[in-house]
Amino acid sequence: MKFLVAALFPEARPFIRRLELKKESLGPGLELYIGSDHALLVTGIGRLTAAVKVARALQLPRLLAVNSVINIGICGCSDISIALGTVFIANKIEEDSTTRAFFPDMLIRHPFEEATLVTVDSPKIRGPQEPPERVLYDMEASGVFQAAAEFITSDRLHFIKIVSDHLFGDKLSKDLIKDLTEDSLNIVLRFLSGLPELEPKFGLDTNEEEALQQLREGLRLTQSQMVQVHDWAMAYRIAGGAQLTSKLIAVARAQPDKQTKSTRAVALETLRHELGL
């Protein structure tokens, strides 16, 4: 599941509509919209509130399947040559108040411009001497990053920002924000559709785990012997071995009721042989 995070409802509305997300009440103050493959959270303005709400949301059982977090919203841009509506993805997030920097991994090919995004605590107004390099400003990204990175790795955090102004302090209407987001909807959704799903973790299945447990009880294995047997089972499965469950059960069943150190040693050796290790 992809988890979108927006500060304002006008930033979220085009996504809610297109992705057919439905509002769900999952906690006081959590404005969550959920569909089959996407969820969207509206956090309100500011890095602290964004961090708290993202952290709360990612602890919900309903969102356990989240594998990517995408912070989407508008931003100011220091470079007046950049057209309003240009879509950026941040390769570095600086937190203005603490000077800390955060780095989403840039592993996925994308169609956006890239820049540093600075998260400020109050709207940024351009000064007489803006730095020559292109800088974006928002009010949530560093909070979203810090909260989300507690739950998933930084290669799965994406910060997509649409230029809404050039820091002249103009008040932005809801309609302008909605229109800017609407205009970039297709390109953003195409990017989202290419984000990788989590690969299933390789491991023993439930039946194999149960058979191992049966073997442990039958042979009265110590904890360290159990770890060793588990490793053998993994090695066998990694090598493409089949019918692990029946092999484990067969060894467990072949044991005498009364186990001694020597019968246990023989059983373990038999198992190792059976698994071809």
Given the rule CB under 8 A, which residues bind other proteins? Answer: 91-92, 101-103, 105-110, 114, 116, 149-150, 152-156, 194, 196, 202-203, 228, 231-232, 234-235, 238-239, 272, 277
Cβ 129 to other proteins shortest distance, Å? 19
- 260 burial level (CB within 10 Å; 0-12, 13-18, 19+): exposed
* Beta partners for residue 39, in sequence order: 3, 34
- Nearest-approach distance from CB 51 to other proteins, in angstroms: 14
**Dihedral Cα 55, 56, 60, 64, nearest 10 deg:** -10
Token pair recorded at residue 38: 């996407």
Q: Give whichever of 168 and 202 is closer to other proteins, judged by the CB atom.
A: 202
**What's the closest the beta carbon of residue 175 comes to other proteins, in angstroms?**
33
- Angle, CA 195 vertex, CA 192 and CA 199 arms, to 5°: 145
Q: Which two tokens stand for residue 62?
A: 């309903």
Minimum distance of other proteins from residue 106's CB (angstroms)? 5
Q: How many residues does the chain have?
A: 277
For residue 189, what are its two tokens?
């959704």
Please classify residue 128 by burial: count the beta carbons closer than 10 Å to its beta carbon, then call 0-12 exposed, 13-18 middle and 19+ buried.
exposed
Q: Please report how close the Cβ of residue 200 comes to other proteins at its closest, in angstroms.
A: 11
Closer residue to other proteins in complex, CB, 42/50: 50
Helix or strand (DSSP H, E) at 76: strand 68-77
Instruction: Give the pair of three-digit tokens for residue 64.
Output: 């356990």
Q: Cβ closer to other proteins: 150 or 175?
A: 150
Find out whether 107 and 45 touch, Cβ atoms under 8 Å. Answer: no
Q: Which is nearer to other proteins, 3 or 102 (CB)?
A: 102
CB 166 within 8 A of CB 78: yes
Give me the least distance between CB of 110 and other proteins, in Å please.
8
